[in-house]
Amino acid sequence: MAEAGMGFLEQLKSCIVWSWTYLWTLWFFIMLFLVYILRVPLKINDNLTTVSMFLNTLTPKFYVALTGTSSLISGLILIFEWWYFRKYGTSFIEQVSVSHLRPLLGGVDNSAPSAASAAGGDADANRQSVSECKVWRNPLNLFRGAEYNRYTWVTGREPLTYYDMNLSAQDHQTFFTCDTDHLRPADAIMQKAWRERNPQARISAAHEALELNECATAYILLAEEEATTIVEAEKLFKQALKAGEGCYRRSQQLQHHGAQYEAQHRRDTNVLVYIKRRLAMCARKLGRTREAVKMMRDLMKEFPLLSMFNIHENLLEALLELQAYADVQAVLAKYDDISLPKSATICYTAALLKARAVSDKFSPEAASRRGLSTAEMNAVEAIHRAVEFNPHVPKYLLEMKSLILPPEHILKRGDSEAIAYAFFHLQHWKRVEGALNLLHCTWEGTFRMIPYPLEKGHLFYPYPICTETADRELLPSFHEVSVYPKKELPFFILFTAGLCSFTAMLALLTHQFPELMGVFAKAFLSTLFAPLNFVMEKVESILPSSLWHQLTRI
């Protein structure tokens, strides 16, 4: 019996909430109609007459005091709202509305994280100890000759910064050189070539090294910088593979004969992995995606310890192109581990897979009316997790900000990583029906969840505050760097600021021109009530006098 009573109350409450949500205009007119009918018993006309007489007897000093007090109160509210926003990152009025008033009106707060994800985030924050602004090699970096240089020829703009290219030069020296290079003349020339700043000088040195011997690193340099098409680059990488495999087999036999041979074998391994990875990327760019996937899988099996190259991110992008979502989920299950460093590719691909399950039927209106299902909640939480990791990505995916060519190095959680991810993955989000719509409806809610100030963390370690400086070094000057955190002012702060300014202006004008402002106030009130009086006169003329007389006597 009690359960039936509770069920009836819940149904009654839901009906009231539904009626208030969609029929509030009808409620409003019904209330106006009732007030008008009951104007005689309630003595509304007498009260309005009394109020009118009172307003007519007011002196200009009253208007000065009224506007001055209103300006003072709105100013105090503005000061409090601004202080609360600076301290907690949100508007006090907005927070009270969302936290207390919205549940009473039947709203559902979709931005609340689950306890399990919060617990996982705490462990993630404890396990990860990364430097704030460590720069990573972009796993999907383009080819300088075939892609970056072609962009420069067409637009006249340099897509790469000196800082970015300098980092690449350091990477090349680390991966492709060792202390024994002086024993092999071709490698000695290439050791100098990797340090050379002039591109033409590097290319000339690579040709000089090839005249002496079949040098794998010389072919790499030519494929990266001299080849003007991906087809030419692939041919050079195949020649580099033949030379690199020979060096790798020879150094593998001698790797345990001393530290010198160990370093040489490590260098030859890096060269071989780099060549195979670039060949797989060439196959992917030329449309041979299945071949590229096989090459990447073989490479990951052959060299499982070389995680620094992040080959799994290339694999994820190729599998998404094949729409092999089950294989994508299998890769994520292995690499989206709590102990491994995250990336935008990992987080947003996980969000895409969860969104794919519900996005084709997702409707914001239906979700607000009936609440989120379990699958929709999982998708929203995955999007919140991804946005918290890198808040710059959604604007690129939603095409609210234009893309540029990705740099050769990225800063995780920065604008550079967002560009690199969106450049290759935007097409995959577009392919999943409704995914971008779901992202558009939910991503902004994350900013109410992200802890503020930034010294705190929620699902991940605290957001680095030096990302803007590093991104400006990595990205070209013609690109407008996305800056976070730059919380936009809430509506209520802007509203109170406008209200304070308006009332202060009224107070000043009333003080300077009291009589004129008094006339203006009376004219404004009469104009404001003129439509209502007009409607009431029309209603009285339409309804029969006998019926109207009986209604007023009720």
C-alpha 449 chain-centroid distance: 13
pLDDT class of 300 with cuts at 50, 70, 90 = confident
Note whether 274 and 306 are within 8 A (CB).
no
CB atoms within 10 A of CB 268: 23
C-alpha 315 chain-centroid distance: 23
Nearest to 507 by CA among 59, 60, 64, 61: 64
Backbone φ and ψ for 55, nearest 5 degrees, come out as: -65, -35
DSSP type of residue 411: E
Q: Residue 268 carries which side chain, given as an amino acid letter?
A: D
Q: Which tens digit of pLDDT belongs to each residue from 470-496?
A: 888 999 988 988 887 665 566 666 777
Note whether 341 and 128 are within 8 A (CB).
yes
Beta partners for residue 135, in sequence order: 411
Note whether 398 and 439 are within 8 A (CB).
yes
The DSSP string of 266-331 is HHHHHHHHHHHHHHHHHHHHTT-HHHHHHHHHHHHHH-TT-GGG-HHHHHHHHHHHTT-HHHHHHH
What integer pLDDT is reported at residue 437 of this predicted model?
86
Q: Which tens digit of pLDDT belongs to each residue from 379-396?
A: 888 888 888 888 899 999
> For the chain, what percent of residues have pLDDT higher than 90?
18
Backbone φ and ψ for 131, nearest 5 degrees, come out as: -70, 150
3-class DSSP state of 410: strand
What integer pLDDT is reported at residue 115 of this predicted model?
35
Residue 480, phi-psi category: left (phi > 0), alpha (psi -120 to 50), beta (remainder): beta
Evaluate if residue 377 carries a pLDDT over 80: yes
Note whether 275 and 239 are within 8 A (CB).
no
Q: Which tokens is 246 given?
A: 């020979």
What's this model's pTM, rounded to 2 decimal places? 0.66
* Choice among 181-195, 429-443, 498-512 with the minimum mean pLDDT: 498-512
Residue 19, phi-psi category: left (phi > 0), alpha (psi -120 to 50), beta (remainder): alpha
Dist CA 406 CA 136 (whole Å): 13
Evaluate if residue 5 carries a pLDDT over 60: no
Dist CA 146 CA 149 (whole Å): 6
Q: Where are the beta strands (DSSP E) in 86-245?
A: 135-137
Evaluate if residue 124 carries a pLDDT over 50: no
Q: Which residue has the tokens 């084709």?
A: 360
Q: Which residue has the tokens 């020296």?
A: 173
What integer pLDDT is reported at residue 23 of this predicted model?
61
Contacts made by residues 189-194, CB under 8 angstroms, sequence distance 24+: 189/218, 190/215, 190/217, 190/218, 190/221, 193/218, 193/221, 194/169, 194/221
* Cα 525–Cα 529–Cα 533 angle in degrees, nearest 5: 150
Q: Which tens digit of pLDDT belongs to each residue from 59-112?
A: 666 767 777 777 778 778 778 777 777 666 666 766 666 555 555 444 444 433
Alpha-carbon distances of 3 from 8, 10, 12, 106, rounded to whole Å: 9, 10, 14, 21
Evaluate if residue 122 carries a pLDDT over 60: no
Dist CA 518 CA 498 (whole Å): 22
pLDDT class of 247 with cuts at 50, 70, 90 = confident
Alpha-carbon distances of 52 from 47, 102, 372, 373, 519, rounded to whole Å: 8, 38, 52, 56, 14
Contacts of 165 (CB under 8 A, 6+ apart): 408
